[in-house]
Structure 1
Amino acid sequence: MTKHRPSAAELEHLRNTVGRVSDAVDSMLDGRAIVIADDTDGVGYLAFAGSLASDSLVAWTVRYGSGFLCAAMLPDRARALGLPLIASMGPGIDRHYAVSVDAIEGTSTGISAQDRARTLALLADRHAHPDAFTRPGHLVVELVAPGGVLDRPRPGECLLDLLSIAELPLVGGLCALVSERDSTALATGDELREFCDTHDTALVCVGDMVTFRELTERRVVRVHAEIEWLPARSYSTGSCVPRTARSASRPASSVPGSAV
């Protein structure tokens, strides 16, 4: 195996990658939404911790998102809550959904931001029982690969990997971001960076999480004070840019996308 010392550019890229992952984790711990860029099609997704879902956070997400709000979770969690897989999503669809749900207690129609926040928080509650939900409902359950982005590099897997790093329950809210330039399309590319700059929101690419996990899960081995770089898969991070100083001085409740 060929050993090679990383160049200054490679080290800077890795610092930026780790920084974006760290910023995303910090934002979710603060109860804020982040944007996850899908390297497959370039689409951005608003994402947040289900256990920290609030009325205002869900309302903000639906305002800027498609309205198709999903609760991303592992298949084992869905089985524990009695949420069966929908039989067929059609050929070529790389996503898997379980039956949609509403929380029974503390909700009315199930469609409001308040009701969906309540349902998300209950799905993330480890004490929740299957009888606490009606089926079908207004919150769609998306099943993610147990191995995260190393099994399937998609936004749902990236979200749960971030929640795992944050040591939060592995249920998260996920909603595609709508373009502000064209309300009939989803936001991609430069528009994701513009949105995050405008709304002081952390941006992370699925490829960032792939790189982060490969770095931290014994994909980089230190031998005799030299770094041996193991071959890694190549993922584009075109939607992500070097980190910029976001206004960390402001409390989470005073900025868009925060849980208040």
Structure 2
Amino acid sequence: MIELKSAEEIGRMAVTGQFVGELLAELSGVAAVGVNLMDLEHHARRRISERGAESCYWDYAPSFGRGPFRNVLCLSVNDAVLHGLPHDYGLRDGDLLSIDMAVGIDGWVADSALSVIVGTPDPADLKLIEATEVALQAGITAAQPGGRLGDISAAIGEVAHSYGYSVNAEFGGHGIGRTMHEAPHVPNNGRARRGMKLDPGLTIAIEPWFCRSTDKITFDNDGWTIRSADGSRTAHSEHTVAITASGPQVLTSRPTDGATGGRPERARSVRASVPPAS
């Protein structure tokens, strides 16, 4: 069942979303050559605890995982794109890191992800990250009241194809609100003007992710980490969005001055935009 949220409830989700956006920006600034993935994990655990929030990942046990997830971040490096387990790994120059997190505050959840380059960027990686960010913005722009779910999916898929990437349809966005995963599923490719109507009060996570040269994926033996089947680099971007009568509202916006700084040894993310839908 799909629950439409009131303006007050969306406002409570926005409180959670602000924290998620701020922490993601903070983590992208902490990520640097030589920093261990577990340092990022423990940094996030500390900040979540200090805020009185609860991780939606801790003890999460879907059908595809192997045992409950016992971390508060998904940290996916290079050819890993989703559900990467934090582990003992020091970030290296040129690594492409995706950071994904979802937390709840006072019973309301927000979910977001970003991808960054650690150290020296490869132009092909910058292009890949840019594609996910442009696709995310296109999906948000398409999330108009009275529209259809397929409008979002088609907008994401169109961007992917324009950059030369194919789209995997096994994992995509999802409804969100009182829990991390609610109906509906939000595919990253589809047909415009198809699917359920986008009514005000619908809250969804829109999350395009692409592999550089394949749409096939594999799972690590840990049962969680999803990688490109051909070992090519991957990227992932995500925001929690509310459909309102006046248009889409991004609930997980990040500070524009978040600590990426442009310094070569720090993580870099792409800030991209697309023109408004005509």
TM over 0.5: no
More helix by share: 1
- Structure showing greater radius of gyration is 1
Question: TM-score normalised to the size of structure 1?
Answer: 0.27
Task: Kindly indicate whether structure 1 or structure 2 has the higher relative contact order, using CA contacts under 8 Å at least 6 residues apart.
Answer: 1
